[in-house]
Amino acid sequence: MGADTTPGYELLYDIIRRRSSIRKLKPDPIPEEYIGKILEAGRWAMSGANSQPWEYIVVKDPQVKKDLFRAYNEVNAEFIYWMEQQRVFELRHPAYQMTAEKAVEQQRRGAGWSEAPALIVVVGDGRRQWGTVQGAHTFGREQSHLTDGLANTCTLMHLAAASLGLATQWVTIHIQEPFKKVLGVPDLMMLYLIIPIGYPAVQPSEGVGMLLEEIVHHDHYDDAKFMSNERVVQYLYELRGKTMQSYRQSYIGKEEPKKN
């Protein structure tokens, strides 16, 4: 370990690098204290004026998990499917390029994350976030301290789970109402995210990240790094090429080399 780092940073960086979305989890139960530790980490997240707009629903009941997953498939996933049709096939999200691959579809649309031993559903109370500055409520400017805070608490919980040897997935909720109905969440609340938690059933894949020199500027924005429209499209093609296999692996595991 060099003089330019510390044991604390090395530990944190290792956890960050090891964390990977895993979409196939073992049904084995996880210690109750682990869930408590994950929630404890989440509650220390940053939020505007420390308004702490988050609440968590821990779901273990098998039927409730199935009902949530049904809502995801019947409403959320269908909405995304039709939205993806607006893009050329090669640029669609990996899940909507792999619809013909039976192994992936069986895991994605079968029991999926309903078999995870536990789910943490993150909900937010926008009224509580009014504790922060008024400028944080200019939603038309695409900036909200409510979603900032909810993203922060979710990130800490994902990292805490990784530190405990557990795997997670970031399940974005685009249409909230069916999930709220299943869980009895008040209309005023935002149902932000579902985090399936369990032991990984597949080996995590190596992450894909942009190089620092591509995204870091010094003192002023470097116009030479500004992507043209053509470059953005090229980048998206390159990104899909790099991530398709890791996405597949997150569902069904690493493909073993064929024997002669």
Task: Say what the pLDDT of residue 127 is.
Answer: 87
Whether residue 12 is contained in a domain is answered as: no
Q: What is the CATH number of the domain that holds 194?
A: 3.40.109.10
Q: Residues with Cβ < 8 Å from 9, sequence gap 6 or more? A: none
Domain count, the chain: 1
Q: Is residue 61 part of a domain?
A: yes
With respect to residue 187, please indicate whether it lies within any of the assigned structural domains. yes
Residue 200: predicted pLDDT: 94
The verdict on residue 259 lying in a domain is no
CA distances (Å), 174 to each of 85, 240, 260, in order?
A: 17, 22, 46
Residue 107 has a pLDDT of: 67
Beta carbons of 52 and 195 less than 8 angstroms apart: no
pLDDT at residue 162, rounded to an integer = 96
Residues of the chain with pLDDT under 70: 1-3, 103, 105-109, 136-143, 255-260
Domain span including residue 142: 20-252
**108 with 23: CB under 8 angstroms?**
yes
Q: Is residue 151 in a domain?
A: yes
Q: 0.75 cut: is pTM over it?
A: yes
Residue 13: inside a domain: no
DSSP string computed for the chain: --TT--HHHHHHHHHHHH--B-S-B------HHHHHHHHHHHTT---GGG---EEEEEE--HHHHHHHHHHIIIIIHHHHHHHHTTS-GGGS-GGGT-TT-HHHHHHHHSSGGGGSSEEEEEEEETTGGGGS-GGGG-GGGT--HHHHHHHHHHHHHHHHHHHTT-EE--EE-SS-HHHHHHHT--TTEEEEEEEEEE-BSSPPPPP----HHHH--BSB--GGGPPPHHHHHHHHHHHHHHHHHHHHHHHH-PPPPPP-
Identify the pLDDT of residue 257. Answer: 54
In a domain, 11, yes or no: no
